[in-house]
Structures are given as structure tokens and as C-alpha cells.
Amino acid sequence: MSAAAASPTSFASRRKRLAEVSSRHRSWSIVVGIAIVGTVLPILAAIPPFTLATPTNAWMDGFTNAGVFVLLAIGLNLVVGVAGLLDLGYAAFFAIGAYTYSYVASPFGNSILGIKFVEVVSPDIAGLVFWPMLLVGALVAALFGILLGAPTLRLRGDYLAIVTLGFGEIVPIVFLNADAVTNGTNGVGGLARPALPIIGSFSALNPWPYYVSMLVVVAVVMMLAYRLVESRLGRAWEAIREDELAAAASGINTVTAKLLAFALGASTAGIAGVFNASKLVTVSPDQFTFIVSFTVLAMVVLGGMGNFWGVAVGAFVIYTINNVLLKVLNQFFDQVSFPILKDIDFIQLQFLLYGLALVAMMLWRPEGLFPNSRRQRELHTAMTEPGEDELVTAEATSEEGQR
């Protein structure tokens, strides 16, 4: 604090004031922030340098898809960034949300449930189910979050990561092999698109309804996430992440708190799953591989663990780079037929680029692009006084290991 206050560059002080105002009027600042972003993006997508790369509608579609990852990153941030539980199988809950929607919104799913719904009503009506399904998807995913979380809670650190990695693999494999109820590799198709009373069913041709709905969902989720971490429960999570024994000695039921973190993180992925399914109108096991879990984790780390705006921006940027910029680079170098670069397929280099970005990040800015102030303090002090911190952790483990 002293360093920042002593030499206030105008940018730093302005940023600090912004942070203060936004934390005092949290919900409003989220609405305003999302509204601004939501207006600027379509404008950018409609003006020259960007329209040259991809048509406006494709941009809008891409932004909506990026929104799915923003949701995922917000949810995973709750688990990893706030509560400190390393979850490598997060895509499992994304899958569960998507399949939950497919059961209600597709002919195949309806036949499994033994109901007649999608086939007998018009798409404009069937699509209405999307809205309550956002909530149902969240609840079902939360339930599975609790189921998967319960046996893993005694584990910490690496062990937890390995077990969640296992769950992340098991869930898509179950969806793949339980042919009778999931239609196996082919997945479930023909899902109803969302609908609204006046505009009717959304369509693949018009990206706007999806885009606006996504903005609303992101704003609401972000608002709830902030309210959560600024509550008693959020403090409990932070406490557990910092020192589990001290948290328990402060009266926190660490088991319950960790279960809740798992469940709420999962529910966010459930919402993202429902949304994604309704947009792709099909779900299949290959949409939920480890790559998804890994990508979301990279988004959280790069964006800045613990800071919801940070991870949202991280998710958006990484998604856009992955899915737009690399393609554009390919086209660009092909067109100008630049010697070596035109032969490189940048899309195939995606993971190499991730790797480089993550390594660079860990070296120079381990707290992420937009760090949570607390995290920043933690990492930077840890680096300047390694001796002291090591001592404390050593004692911590010896005292905790006894039970």
C-alpha cells in the first residue's frame, strides 16, 4: 500500500479510485461494465480492420461462444482462485449441464425421460424451457459437484488435482459408453433453441438474441459471484485457502465450505453447459475433453486468480486469440505470402502458444494479468522472503498432518 500511495502515477491512482468506486457499488458497476463491453464489441465487429478478418455476424457468434468460456472461468475461479481447490476435471460439470438440457430439449432425450415435449409443441414454445433449464442445469451440476466433491475433500493439493482429473475423464467416458441413455459417440442432436415470447425461437442466422442473452447471463453470474465472495462464506473460502487449520480454529466447518465451493463452481459450469448446448443444438462427449478443463484453468491463471473481472477478461482474450486471431494470422500470411510464416499453421500451434504464455506468465507475473490484490501481496511477499514463508509452511504441515 505504501509504495502505491507514495508515488501516485495518475494511472495508478485513477485505477485505484475506480476499484474503490466499483467495490462500493458492486452490482451497478458490473451492469455498467458489461453494458459498455457489450456495446463496444459489436461496434468493433462492424468497422473495417475487423470486418476484413471475419464478417460481423461471425464475430458476434464468436463473442457469444467466448461468453461460454467467460462463465466457465468465473465458476472455476470460485473453486481454484478463491477457495484454493485445484480442480482439473471442471469440464465434467460443463458436460453435465449440457446433457441435462439435452434430456429436456431434444426428441431423443424426451424419449429417455418418457415424456413428449419437443416434438409436440412448436419451437417457439419448446425454446421457452431454456430459461428455467439454466437454473435446473445449475442445480443438477451442483448436485454432481457435491457428489464428486464429497469423497475428495480430505485430499489436498496434488492429490485433489489428480482425483478431479480422474473425474473429468470419467464423466465424458460415461456419456460416451452409456449408449442407451446418451446415444454414445454421436451424442444427442436436435436440441431446441432458446425462445422468447415476442421474438420467438433464436436462430443460427441471427447472432443477436444469443449475444444479448449471454451478456445478461454473464452479468448476473458475475454479480452473484461477487456477492458470494464478499459474504461470510467468501471470507471462509479465502481463509481456507490461506490456512486451513487456522480457518477451522476460527470456527469454519471446512468440509461444508469446500463442498459449497465445489457445488457453486459446478453450477456455473452447468449454466455454461446449458447455454452452449442450446447454441450448438447438439451435445456429444468429445465437446468435454480434458482440453476444455485445461483451457479454462489457463484462462483463470492468465487472467488473475481470485479476480472475477480478471478471469473474465482472460477467458475472453484467450478464446478470441484461439478462435479468431490464429485463423486471421493464417489468412493474412497466406495472402501476403510471407516466406516461412505462410507455411505455418497457427491453429496447430495453439498449445505451444499457451505453453509459452503460461511459462512467461509464471516467470514475470505469477499473479496473472489482472491480479486480485490479496494474491499479489501473497506472491510478492513470498518471493521476497522465502525463508520465513518456508518455515511457516513447514510448521503448518507438521501440525496439520497429525489428524
Partner 1 sequence: MSENPLDNEPILVAEGVSRRFGGLVAVNTVDFTIPERAIVSLIGPNGAGKTTFFNVLLGVIDPTAGSVVFRGRRMIARPERVGFESLLWVLPAVLLGLLSGLLAEAGIVSGRLVALLGFLTLMLLVGSLLLAIIRPVWYSTALERIGIFRSARPNDMVTAGVGRTFQNIRLFQNMTAIENVLVGMHTQLHGNLLEAFLQTPRVKAEEKAAERRADDLLTLVGLHGKGNEGARNLPYGDQRRLEIARALAANPKLLLLDEPAAGMNPKETLDLVALISKLRDDLGLTILLIEHDMKVVMGISDRVTVLDHGEKIAEGTPEQVRKDPRVIEAYLGAPAA
Ligand X SMILES: Nc1ncnc2c1ncn2[C@@H]1O[C@H](COP(=O)(O)OP(=O)(O)OP(=O)(O)O)[C@@H](O)[C@H]1O
- Choose from partner 1, ligand X, none: what does 40 bind? Cβ within 5-8 Å by kind: none
Q: Which of the listed partners (ligand X, partner 1, none) does 398 bind, with a CB threshold of 5 to 8 Å by partner kind?
A: ligand X
**Interface with ligand X: number of residues (CB under 6 A):** 2
Residue nearer to ligand X on the CB measure, 242 or 399: 399
* Count of positions on this chain that bind partner 1 (CB under 8 A): 46
- In 3D space, the residue among 301, 346, 291 whose CA is nearest the CA of residue 322 turns out to be 346
Q: Confirm if 348 and 282 have CB atoms less than 8 A apart.
A: no
Task: Quote helix, strand, coil % in the chain, to nearest 5.
Answer: 80, 0, 20
Q: Which is nearer to ligand X, 10 or 402 (CB)?
A: 402
Q: Which residues contact 168 (CB under 8 A, 6 or more apart)?
A: 88, 89, 90, 91, 92, 290, 293
Q: Which of residues 132-151 bind partner 1 (CB under 8 A)?
A: 143, 146-147, 150
By CB under 8 A, what part of segment 40-99 binds partner 1?
none
Candidate list 85, 148, 217, 228; residue touching partner 1; CB under 8 A: 228
- Tell me how far, at minimum, the Cβ of 159 lies from ligand X, in Å: 19
Smallest gap, in angstroms, from Cβ of residue 401 to ligand X? Answer: 6
- Which residues make beta-bridge pairs with 195? 201
Residue 39 interacts with which of ligand X, partner 1, none, CB < 5 to 8 Å by class: none
Shorter beta-carbon distance to partner 1: residue 206 or 381: 381
Q: What is the CA radius of gyration of the chain?
A: 22
Q: Is 343 or 400 the residue whose CB approaches ligand X more closely? A: 400
Residues 6+ positions from 318 with CB-CB distance below 8 Å: 69, 295, 298, 299, 302, 354
Q: How far is the CB of 259 from partner 1 (least distance, A)?
A: 7
Q: In this chain, which of 119, 179, 242, 286 binds partner 1, going by CB under 8 A? A: 242
Q: Is 343 in the site for partner 1 (CB under 8 A)?
A: no
Which is it for the CA torsion 338, 342, 344, 346, positive or negative?
positive
- Of residues 344 through 403, those in contact with ligand X by CB under 6 A are 398, 402
The nearer residue to ligand X, 2 or 398, going by C-beta atoms, is 398
Q: Which does 160 bind (CB under 5 to 8 A by kind): partner 1, ligand X, none?
A: none
Mind giving me the DSSP string for 357-398? Answer: HHHHHHHH-TT-SS--HHHHHHHHHHHH-HHHHHHHHHHHHH
Is 248 one of the binding residues for partner 1 (CB under 8 A)?
yes
Q: Which residue among 173, 204, 383, 392 contacts partner 1 (CB under 8 A)?
A: 392
Q: Give residue 378's identity as a one-letter amino acid code.
A: E
Under rule CB under 8 A, residue 1 binds partner 1: yes
Q: Which is nearer to partner 1, 86 or 153 (CB)?
A: 153
CB 276 within 8 A of CB 98: yes
Check if the beta carbon of residue 57 is closer than 8 Å to that of residue 207. yes
Which of 41, 191, 215, 260 is close enough to bind partner 1 by CB under 8 A?
260
The interface partner of residue 348, options being ligand X, partner 1, none and the CB cut-off 5 to 8 Å by kind, is none
Which residues, other chains included, contact 192 with Cβ-Cβ below 8 Å and sequence gap of 6+?
Answer: 105, 106, 118, 123, 126, 127, 129, 130, 201, 278, 281
Interacting residues with ligand X (CB under 6 A): 398, 402
